[in-house]
Structure 1
Amino acid sequence: MAEVSSATVSRALTSPERVSEATRERITAAVVETGYTVNQMARSLRLRAAKTILIAIPNIGNPFYSTILDAVVQDAAERGYGVLVANRLGGDPTLGLKDYFYSNRADGLLLFDATLNLEALQDLPLVRGNRPLVLSCDDIPDAPLDLVMTDNRDAADTATRHLIELGHKRIGTVRSRTTPNVVSERHSGFERALKRANLLIRQDWIWQGDHTIGGGIVAAESWLALNERPTAMFCGNDETAIGFISRLRQAGIDCPRDVSVVGFDDIAVAQHLSPALTTMRQPRYYMGKVATALLLDILEGPTAERTPTRRILKSELIIRASTASPRDFN
């Protein structure tokens, strides 16, 4: 219809500056009249690039990840990339992720799920001599991977120190999810703060969480069953803290009068709870932007092996109404 070759149409759509204005106008009119769109699958097969990145997250229902995902989708789109989301893959999840690459459906991976076997992912096809993978969850010591994460250990230390400075000496925790890859950085920070203050780390005041409201409820049941209870709790994330506080309220236990609680993440609902939740604010949106930019730079950068980048972002203590000085328990 435009009376030009398919190659000229391709140039007009991808590099319009290489085609004369009159030809562009003729092609644009033909595109409008025919309703033509680029066959992205065919283009990907020809270029051997999907122009798509994959983000793997453990729980898309957790509002912590929705904020990150929003940043990833927006920034990827601005650079011409689509985003696929892998959430709780069944079977062997590492095989599922690698299938995206070997079937040419994704060019790179943003990994926000530390429960996966990273060793099995380190044989992903190289792009320009580099691994097209950015890790953004718990640190994996000595792994030659690009990393964007927050200062989990220091942030947990800060949260615990806040409770200590309020006068609490009996402090427990619902620890973050542990994985085969790492020891929870947040739990390490919690223990570091207690040791520095010469406070006892009691194993019966440590509960294993799973980053869910339900996990917080289970921990609260155990807390209620204790004869001697902590007067303050550091929870591995906000959803855990929400479940913990809600179950105690059902049992007539007031926060912070009877127990102070600190969360982690500062999800949107944290400030609207009763009591409003004291928590560590992670720069989630910025984390998503930095991780996306790093991955796309790997995909589009020079053809040369590079040293992996490590970006550690700072968290901020947000003090609200769920923490206070302990009552006199003598």
Structure 2
Amino acid sequence: MIKKTPTIQEVARFSGVSTATVSRALSNPERVSESTRLRISEAVRVTGYTPNQSARSLRQKTARTILVALPDLRNPFFSTILDSIEREAVLRGYGVLIANRFSGDDSGRRMRDYFLSNRVDGLLLFDGSVDLAQLMMLTGNPAPVPLVVACEEIPTAPFHTVRTDNLYAAEQATRHLIGLGHHGIGHIRGPVGNVLTGEREAGYRKAMADAGLAVRSDWIFKGAFDMDAGHAAGQLFAALADRPTAVFAANDESAIGFLSALNQHGIACPRDVSVVGFDDLGIAAHVLPPLTTMRQPREALGRIAAGALIDVIEGQRRSRLPMHMVLSSELIVRGSTSPPAHRAIAPEAAVQLQ
């Protein structure tokens, strides 16, 4: 039996509004209230309704499709973001294409191919390593491509951006450890050359400097935003004769890999070392111990970034100045952090004891 294609009438019934309101929300979402818009978005998701993109494209001479370019589709960090992007795009009457690992020498050619073939109307870029010169060519006259950069800001580039304040969030994570009484705090970095790596390490260093605490080079571990790199950092940590009592990892995957290595060496968390991650992946609450982490607002980030790009495509954002939206992260405290078992003696107290 052939399954019946969902209709706009079903969306209207599910959301409790008229078909005209559904149509208005899909074509001009700014004309309906936020609560109505969210009800219709949920109805679209549940019913599986898809607007007739082909007919719209023929009428408006557009593809009604956005391209989402990711640095690594395997990273679970992007799952919630992609879900919210697709929900927002469908609500606005757009489809979504995904390009993985968009950087490299042929990135300019690949981007031009997408747009010259009229397959997409705009680019939502999550990869800050794409060559800036290639992007400038793509977004320059005579036919500029609408572009919004999300998550990984490209410094000095004149593009619309939607991101979180990584530096301040890393400060918060480190201050949490300092507030628990930790004086020796290490850091697992992200990949070399990544803008997020630099911002999160800068936040860690700022919190340490503000507290008058030293940053030791042997307590800074190489990373790559994955579990293998975190596990390797854990092996190096276990081999140290003098270990920090706490570690801030640049993302959850590396923190989880680090916890795995600790377990292999019989090092207990948080008794022997407290660990903080970054992102709040779905698995973070279910590892042992549950991971304290900085929760990035991934759903909001994807929704806002997709909406901003579609606004640019449709000419609703006419300002010559680029939009820069910064979202806040939230500290989620779980079982991987606690006061150190043996509090270090403060430097000034040590002087008095001599």
Q: TM-score range by the shorter chain?
A: 0.7 to 0.9
Instruction: Quote the Cα distance in structure 1 between the aligned partners of 2:214 and 2:319.
Output: 48
Alignment correspondent of 1:229: 243
Q: Please say if 1:101 is aligned against 2:115.
A: yes
Shift of 1:139: 2.6
When structure 1 is superposed on structure 2, of 273-282 and 134-143 the one drifting more is 134-143
Query: C-alpha deviations, 1:42-64, integer Å up to 9, x for none?
Result: 98588552111111112222221
Superposition map of 1:304-323 within 5 A: 304=318, 306-323=320-337
Alignment correspondent of 2:147: 133
Instruction: Quote the Cα distance in structure 2 between the aligned partners of 1:164 and 1:93.
Output: 45
Q: Please say if 1:64 is aligned against 2:71.
A: no
Q: Please say if 1:118 is aligned against 2:129.
A: no
Q: Say if 1:172 and 1:205, in contact at 8 Å, map to a contact too.
A: yes
Query: C-alpha deviations, 1:250-305, integer Å up to 9, x for none?
Result: 11111111110000001111111110100000000000000001000000015956
- Cα–Cα, structure 1 residues 137 and 178, in superposed 2: closer, same or farther, change >3 Å? farther
- Cα–Cα, structure 1 residues 132 and 151, in superposed 2: closer, same or farther, change >3 Å? same
Say how many residue pairs are matched: 295
Q: Secondary structure at the match of 2:278?
A: strand
Instruction: Quote the Cα distance in structure 1 between the aligned partners of 2:193 and 2:305.
Output: 22
Q: Please say if 1:82 is aligned against 2:88.
A: no
Q: Say if 1:238 and 1:265, in contact at 8 Å, map to a contact too.
A: yes
Superposition map of 1:84-233 within 5 A: 84-89=97-102, 92-95=105-108, 96-125=110-139, 131-179=145-193, 184-233=198-247
**2:119 counterpart letter in structure 1:** R
Q: Say if 2:279 and 2:293, in contact at 8 Å, map to a contact too.
A: yes
Q: Say if 1:151 and 1:315, in contact at 8 Å, map to a contact too.
A: yes
Shift of 1:231: 1.1
- Cα–Cα, structure 1 residues 113 and 327, in superposed 2: closer, same or farther, change >3 Å? same
Q: TM-score, normalised by structure 1?
A: 0.82
Q: Secondary structure at the match of 2:241?
A: coil
Query: C-alpha deviations, 1:146-195, integer Å up to 9, x for none?
Result: 01000100000000000111111111111123427686211110000001
Q: TM-score, normalised by structure 2?
A: 0.77
> Any unmatched runs of 5+ in structure 2?
1-22, 24-50, 345-354
Q: Please say if 1:51 is aligned against 2:64.
A: yes
- Cα–Cα, structure 1 residues 90 and 189, in superposed 2: closer, same or farther, change >3 Å? closer
- Cα–Cα, structure 1 residues 38 and 286, in superposed 2: closer, same or farther, change >3 Å? closer
> Any unmatched runs of 5+ in structure 1?
1-15, 17-36
**2:95 counterpart letter in structure 1:** G
Q: Say if 2:190 and 2:196, in contact at 8 Å, map to a contact too.
A: no
Q: Say if 2:53 and 2:64, in contact at 8 Å, map to a contact too.
A: no
Q: Say if 1:231 and 1:260, in contact at 8 Å, map to a contact too.
A: yes
Instruction: Quote the Cα distance in structure 2 between the aligned partners of 1:90 and 1:140.
Output: 13
Q: Secondary structure at the match of 1:122?
A: helix
RMSD: 2.7
Q: Secondary structure at the match of 1:229?
A: coil
Instruction: Quote the Cα distance in structure 1 between the aligned partners of 2:132 and 2:267.
Output: 42
Q: Secondary structure at the match of 2:272?
A: coil
